[in-house]
Chain A
Amino acid sequence: MNLLGLAWRSLLNRRFAVLLTVCTIALSIGLLVLVEQLRSEVRQGFYRSVSGVDLIVGGRTAPVQLLLYSVFGIGDATNDISWETYTQLKALPEVDWAIPMALGDSHNGYRVLGISPAFFEHYRFGDSEHIEFESGQEFDDLFDVVIGAQVARQLDYELGDQIVLAHGSGNVSLQGHDEHPFTITGILAPTGTPVDQQLYVSLAAHRAIHIGWERGVQMPGSAIDPDVARTQAEELRPDAVTAIFLGLTARAAVFGLQRRVNEYRAEALSGIMPGITLQQLWRITGMAEQVLRVVAALVVVAGLLGMLTVLLATLGERRREMAILRANGARPWQISGLLVFEAGLIAAAGIAFGVALALSVQMVAAPWLLSEFGLHVGLTWPAAWQFGVLGLIFLAGLAVGVIPAAMAYRRTLADGMQIRT
């Protein structure tokens, strides 16, 4: 057993206080790492959710709002786009494809999107990945519905199940589209994006179930008979759509098109580029993130101060221990070294446990974030710069240890052979 062995035994002797200190530091480090991890993972999750869409067009609104309700199902649209505008935009030479979507219905709290089949063909997520079917296929009959992976799992649905949509978004809906039950014909493969949290019907179906509705209420007896609707399926189309995802033939055309959309004469439109709008969103959330970071950093400082308190408090009771070591030949720097070593060990253990804690919380929180926000939070190792920060915190821990070490150094020199009382 060398000097470090002695330090270890001494630590074990005070294991309760030491363990508490390690816990304090682990909690503070855990918070720091978790804030940073979730921040980058949530951002990553947002970026993953929309890929390959060059322009999102909606009724005139704030860009961030349009992005949030069209892609992430957060909030509601205030203005629609007329069907004519949609057909005109779709016909533009620079537009490669267009996915119109009509919002307004829900099922057990999950959003129902009226979409064109172009969605399954052109929508991308993550690293330009296509949407794939876990089982079944696109809608064939007018009253067919395709559901996201999470919807199928949470509600335990299978192909062929009949479901009824509710009017309006949210969990509580007073009125339903009871006359028009839908049959599940397809279940999408998981994407880790809001796609998993949604149900998809055709635009014609969206129109059909809203016949006879005015100002959010259905006129009694005005609903169209499902079989009649089926015969008219070809002509059924909504008067308006909520938003349009556009893919362009050449990405360079996006700025010109965005300007033209924003200056569109027939109606007031907003055109946004998802990546740039996400940046705007980060600018809004950035302030809160900074506050969280500062709080986490202060908690780390509190943790280190806690360690200092414990080290200083034990210094008094360890004075005898140090005098014994000294009388038996220990050099003053060896005594100080013991304290710095101890501080380093506590800090290192705290950091290690803290990172483990953050990763565990992340692992536990991931399913909740996925089901609640459709955000896929991966279990990634903290980035290199974060380890740089942790390294600095370790050095700060050592520096904290220098304070009691310096006191012990001076004291051992002054104490003589035995403690002077």
Chain B
Amino acid sequence: MTPLLDIKDLAFTWPGDTDPVLELGGFSLAAGEKVFMFGPSGSGKSTLLALIGGLIRPQSGQILFKDQDLVELGGAGRDRVRAEHLGVIFQQFNLLPWLDLINNVMLPCRFSRARAARAGDVKGAAEKLLAEMSLAPELWRRRADSISVGQQQRVAAARALIGRPALILADEPTSALDHDRRLDFLELLFSQVEAANSALLFVSHDRDLAGRFDRAVDLTDLNEAQEQA
């Protein structure tokens, strides 16, 4: 079976920099696989996620995602792939503060018809995900900036999951939470990722969480640019 994501000989240098921030010989991820990626700050994890998200384009290499090479694909094509097949959760500031929870969750479906079609009843799907993320219905119409950070991260997870994307990218989603909430959040995220049959690439510097994943990789080992530095 071909992997969902297959990265080969990737090199990326930020415009204006002389040295590449990321040089990746190979990394792949199977459909439905939950991978923990350890990466301290500066290890190039945000760059890697932006590359997988198709927001930036590497100078060389290959990013095969769902059998399409994102590097070959034009900007519009990458935008479409991202909208259709990716869910993202950041460390913080995931939500549009002036929008209510429901509309924040429905956001990806506005940019992709295919994703909205997969979600079916978009509003119903958003409500279901919010409920499953233990967010009480009375919160759903509140502005996103009126709820706690822990609640915001669960809303972000619900948004990432709407329309069952093939891959969820999570960039330190738990680092703003205290220990207990961290585990609770992970529990909820796992159950929903499994229900949606999505793969999960979870990047964190917190190795304690690694044991719960199918596989753990160390980005510092993978990234040849960092080794040279």
Contacts and interface: CB of A to CB of B under 8 A. Distances in A.
Q: Answer whether A and B are interacting partners.
A: yes
Contacts of B107: 324-325, 328
A324 B55 contact: no
B96 to A, nearest CB: 6
A2 B110 contact: yes
Contacts of B169: 417
A232 interface: no
A416 B83 contact: no
B76 A331 contact: yes
A417 B76 contact: no
A334 to B, nearest CB: 8
Contacts, number: 80
A418 interface: yes
A292 B165 CA distance: 61
Contacts of B79: 329-332
A414 B159 CA distance: 24
Band of interface residues on A: 20 to 34
Contacts of A3: 110
B27 interface: no
B19 to A, nearest CB: 16
Interface stretch (A9-17, A350-358, A381-389): A9-17
B27 to A, nearest CB: 17
A206 interface: no
Band of interface residues on B: 35 or more
A413 B15 CA distance: 11
B108 A418 contact: no
A10 B94 CA distance: 16
Looking at chain A's contact residues, the main secondary structure is helix
Nearest to B14: A420
A413 B53 CA distance: 12
Interface in B23-81: 46-47, 49-50, 53, 55-56, 75-76, 79-80
A327 B53 contact: yes
A168 to B, nearest CB: 69
B88 interface: yes
A9 B98 contact: yes
Contacts of A415: 55
B90 interface: yes
A417 B98 contact: no
Contact of B49 (A6, A414, A417): A417
Contacts of B15: 414
Nearest to A330: B111
A328 B94 CA distance: 10
A416 B88 CA distance: 13
Interface in B163-180: 169, 171
A195 to B, nearest CB: 61
A153 interface: no
Contact of B111 (A13, A328, A332): A328
Nearest to A329: B83
Contact of B46 (A9, A12, A326, A416): A416
A100 B159 CA distance: 88
A420 B55 CA distance: 13
B90 A418 contact: yes
Contacts of B97: 13
A325 B93 CA distance: 12
Given A2-B110, A330-B111, A321 B96 contact: yes
B11 interface: no
Max chain B CB contacts within 10 Å: which of A13, A414, A418?
A: A418
B95 interface: yes
A259 interface: no
Contacts of A418: 46, 50, 90, 171
Interface of A: 1-3, 6, 9-10, 12-13, 320-321, 324-332, 334, 413-418, 420
Given A6-B96, A9-B98, A329-B83, 13 more contacts: A2-B110, A6-B99, A324-B93, A324-B95, A324-B96, A327-B88, A328-B111, A329-B79, A329-B108, A331-B79, A414-B15, A416-B50, A417-B46
22 contacts: A1-B103, A9-B103, A13-B98, A327-B55, A327-B82, A328-B88, A329-B79, A329-B82, A329-B84, A329-B86, A329-B108, A329-B112, A329-B115, A413-B55, A413-B75, A416-B50, A416-B55, A417-B49, A417-B53, A417-B171, A418-B46, A418-B171
